[in-house]
Amino acid sequence: MRYLPLEDADRAAMRAKIGVGHVDELFKAVPADKLLGELPALPNAKGEMEVERELGRLAACNSAAASVPFFVGAGAYRHHVPATVDHLIQRSEFLTSYTPYQPEITQGTLQYLFEFQTQVANLLAMDVANASMYDGSTAAAEAVLMAHRVTRRKKALVSGGLHPQYREVIETLSRWGDAAVSTMPADPTGAEDIASRIDGETSCVVVQYPSFYGTIRDLTAIADAAHAKGALLIVVVTEVVALGLIKPPGEMGADIVAAEGQSIGNGLNFGGPYVGLFATKQKYVRQMPGRLCGETVDAEGKRGFVLTLSTREQHIRREKATSNICTNSGLCALAWTIHMTLLGETGLKRLAEINHANAVALADKLASVRGVEVLTGAFFNEFTIRVPTDGRNVIDALAKRGVMGGVPAARLEPKRRDLHDLIVVASTEINTDADRSALATALAEVLR
Amino acid sequence: MLRFSKDHEWVHVEGDLATIGITVHAQGQLGDVVFVEVPEAGRKVAAGEAVAVVESVKAASDVYAPLSGEVVEANGALADSPALVNEDAEGKAWFFKVRLADKSQLDGLMDRAAYDQFVAEHG
């Protein structure tokens, strides 16, 4: 095949067709201050060793999560991933496999996806789960769009305890679908009364559990209030390890659950790739987005697996598809299911207990630091503290002392002055007593 | 007497009540029907609006309201036995009934002979 580059006449014809005068107009959605203008001065050529040396020097400027006491969470959690997981997912049958359109040659991929779905549905206590989404935030936005289809309404009511970036993803997708998003004020303590805000136009209520700030509350009353008004309850989970200990969303009346699965089997990966979990009730399965793998029997009556209910999907249903997602996070889902299989139900519960115990120990330690107030009552492995000054400055000062102390709320909600003194702190099984002491000591120094 | 739309729906009118389904030709094109979604009673529909879904082993298609009005009843039997659409498309497998808002819209539909010719010409 020859590669024929476009010529100026081709470009002009395309611009004329779509009514664009200059190619820059296609990029006007990018804020001006984010455009580079011209490339930075880079040397034309360097030797391999020189490049390695220079990049090594730059990399050493980072505080890598594994190299410091690390308490950063807020949607992405550093957990121990057993070496078995990486070893198995790097088998070429898994690593290089493509979307399993042909069941006769993809039984291995289809079987692990089926097992993944089964584990997700069990963990969330929901009827049916799909073969995964891109990540938790896009899964949450897809859940909102699905609720709009189910209810034929177009207004989402979003809790002030939802991760701010998840809210932004929901807002972005809603904007292009002419749907409304109504957001409750930020809710660091889990005190909001969202049930009374549900009305006859509300398609869904979106609540995070545990919340962005770490609070845990029973959602049954919110589910009942939503259902009484014909709305759906969407539960978002960003730390699925919590479900080893706390009541699963399906037992509290959730209609759709959208979760970030990164905590199981997947590293921090600089923010991605991650794996979105998506589950719902059987009666809504045809409005579900994404791939769905099903169990069946072949012509000889032997158990086998296929992609199913594909008529929901874009390659068949075109513009009437439930979503434009035409794939899933296959390898991350595989890592998730291998790790979950290694843990088993008992192992997950034990892991969750260690996480919670570590976070409680940390909260007790930080509460004794002068100037620190622990705001969160019931929490899993993450909670919010109030400090007497801007949380961003505190976190920067801690980083200078070699401790990654958490996520300042103001970093995700820069316009919210009332949140500037809050820090969201997470502690997983990786943290030791020494780590906790290092944070408490550094925090005492910084606040002195 | 049945009347037919270019979207392959049939309409049977008694008084101001129209019973609507998909044609024998349409079910033949779809193949084995595995799922049907019908509109809820009380829903106001406009002519040309997608109001139901019929899904076969090879395709999913919208079913359009050929006439404007209010849905008064939907065929609940189709949810449990979608294969009824293949067995008796222009009889027991009716989809929904609409109380017509404007009976003059019937003039825009075809009779059997015109529909047969339409199918022969357009496939």
Do A354 and A229 share a structural domain? no
CATH number of the domain enclosing A356: 3.90.1150.10
Q: What's the whole-number mean pLDDT along residues A118-145?
A: 98
With CA atoms as reference, the chain B residue closest to A311 would be B60
| pLDDT reported for residue A234 | 98
Both A154 and A130 in a single domain? yes
CB distance A311–B37 less than 8 Å?
no
A311:B60 CB<8 A: yes
Tens of pLDDT along A375-399?
999 999 999 999 999 999 999 999 9
Q: How many domains does chain A have?
A: 2
In a domain, A228, yes or no: yes
Question: Complex ipTM, two decimals?
Answer: 0.73
A270 plus A154 within the same structural domain: yes
Q: Does the CB of A367 have a partner CB in chain B at under 8 Å?
A: no
Q: Which residues of B touch A316 (CB under 8 A)?
A: 59-60
Does residue A379 belong to any structural domain of this protein? yes
Q: B84 to chain A nearest CA, in Å?
A: 20
pLDDT of residue A39: 83
Q: Do A383 and A331 fall within a single domain?
A: no
Residues of A in contact with B51 (CB under 8 A): none
* Domain final residue, candidates A290, A310, A338: A338
B62 contacts A286? CB cut-off 8 A = no
Could you tell me if residue A304 is inside a domain? yes
pLDDT, averaged across chain A: 95
In A, which residues are within 8 Å of B39 by CB distance?
Answer: none
Judgement on whether residues A326 and A435 belong to the same structural domain of the protein: no
Residue from the list A286, A311, A312 with its beta carbon closest to the beta carbon of B59:
A311
Rounded to the nearest 5 percent, the helix, strand and coil shares of chain B are 25, 35, 35
Does the distance separating the beta carbons of A316 and B37 come in below 8 Å? Answer: no
In the predicted model, is pLDDT for residue A145 greater than 70?
Answer: yes
Contacts of B35 in chain A (CB under 8 A): 286, 311
Query: Across A147-302, where does the E strand assignment appear?
Result: 155-158, 180-183, 202-208, 232-237, 256-260, 276-280, 293-297
Q: Of the candidates B35, B50, B60, which has its C-beta nearest A317's C-beta?
A: B60
Give the end-to-end CA distance of chain A in Å, rounded to a whole number: 69
Would you state the pLDDT for residue A10? 92
Q: Which residues of A touch B45 (CB under 8 A)?
A: none
pLDDT over 90 for what percent of chain A? 84
Answer with the one of A304, A338, A372 that is the final residue of a domain: A338
Question: Quick one: A234 and A203 in the same domain?
Answer: yes
pLDDT digits (tens, 9 = 90+) for A54-103: 999 999 988 889 999 999 999 999 999 999 999 999 999 999 888 888 88
A354 with A318, same domain? no
Nearest residue of A to residue B59, measured between CA atoms: A311
Q: B50-56 and B17-22 as β-strands: parallel, antiparallel, unpaired?
A: unpaired
- The residue out of A309, A338, A367 marking a domain boundary is A338
Q: Taking CB atoms and an 8 Å cut-off, how many pairs form between chains A and B?
A: 13
Whether A126 maps to a domain, the answer reads: yes
Averaged pLDDT for residues A307-314: 84
A311 to chain B, any CB pair closer than 8 A? The answer is yes
Contact partners, residue B72, CB within 8 Å, separation at least 6: B17, B41, B97, B98, B99
Q: pLDDT at residue A315 above 90? A: no
Domain membership flag for residue A283: yes
- Compute the nearest-CA separation of B61 from chain A (Å): 8
Regarding whether A310 and A243 lie in a shared domain, the answer is: yes
Cβ-contact A386, A421 below 8 angstroms: yes
Shortest distance, CA A308 to any CA of chain B (angstroms): 10
pLDDT for B123: 66
A7 lies in a domain? Answer: no
Report yes or no: A320 at the B interface, CB cutoff 8 Å.
yes
Residue-level pLDDT at A411: 94
Q: Is residue A32 part of a domain?
A: no
User: What CATH number has the domain bearing residue B101?
Assistant: 2.40.50.100
Average pLDDT over residues A363-378: 96
Domain that holds residue A117: 83-338
Question: Does residue A170 contact residue A158 with C-beta atoms inside 8 Å?
Answer: yes
Q: Same structural domain for residues A326 and A403? A: no
CA angle (A331 as vertex; A325, A334 as ends), nearest 5: 110
Is the domain of A255 the same as that of A300? yes
Domain count, chain B: 1
pLDDT in tens, A258-299: 999 999 999 999 999 999 999 999 999 999 999 999 999 999
Contact criterion met (CB < 8 Å) for B59 and A320: no
For B35, which residue in chain A has the nearest alpha carbon? Answer: A286
In chain B (123 residues long), the average pLDDT of successive 10-residue segments reads: 94 94 95 92 92 88 94 93 95 96 91 95 81
To 10 degrees, what angle do helices A107-124 and A330-367 make? 30
Cβ separation A316–B55 shorter than 8 A: no
Residues A160-181, mean pLDDT to the nearest whole number: 95
Query: What confidence score (pLDDT) does residue A41 get?
Result: 86
In-domain check, residue A207: yes
**Nearest-CA residue of chain A relative to B62?**
A320
> What is the maximal distance between C-alpha atoms in chain B?
37
Task: Give A320's contacts in chain B (Cβ within 8 Å).
Answer: 50, 60, 62
Nearest to B62 among A286, A316, A320 (CB): A320
Mean pLDDT, range A98-113, rounded to an integer: 90
**DSSP 8-state symbol, A69:** -
pLDDT at position A1 is 62
Check whether residue A307 and residue A421 sit in a common domain.
no
Q: What is the mean pLDDT of residues A159-182?
A: 95
Taking only the tens place, the pLDDT of each residue in A431-443 is 999 999 999 999 9
Do A414 and A290 share a domain, yes or no? no
Number of Cβ within 10 Å of residue A242's Cβ equals: 22
Spell out which residues of chain A touch residue B55, defining contact as CB-CB under 8 Å: 311
What range defines the domain where residue B107 resides? 2-122
The nearest CA of chain A is from the CA of B34 a distance in Å of 10
| pLDDT computed for residue A13 by the predictor | 94
Asked whether residue A312 carries a pLDDT value surpassing 90, the answer given is: no
Residue A316 has pLDDT above 80, yes or no: no
Chain A residue with Cα closest to B36: A286
Question: pLDDT tens for residues A199-252?
Answer: 999 999 999 999 999 999 999 999 999 999 999 999 999 999 999 999 999 999
Residue A237 sits in a domain whose CATH number is: 3.40.640.10
Instruction: Kindly state the tokens that stand for A83.
Output: 């070496």
Measured CA to CA in angstroms, residue A185 lies from A138, A172, A223 at distances of 22, 19, 20
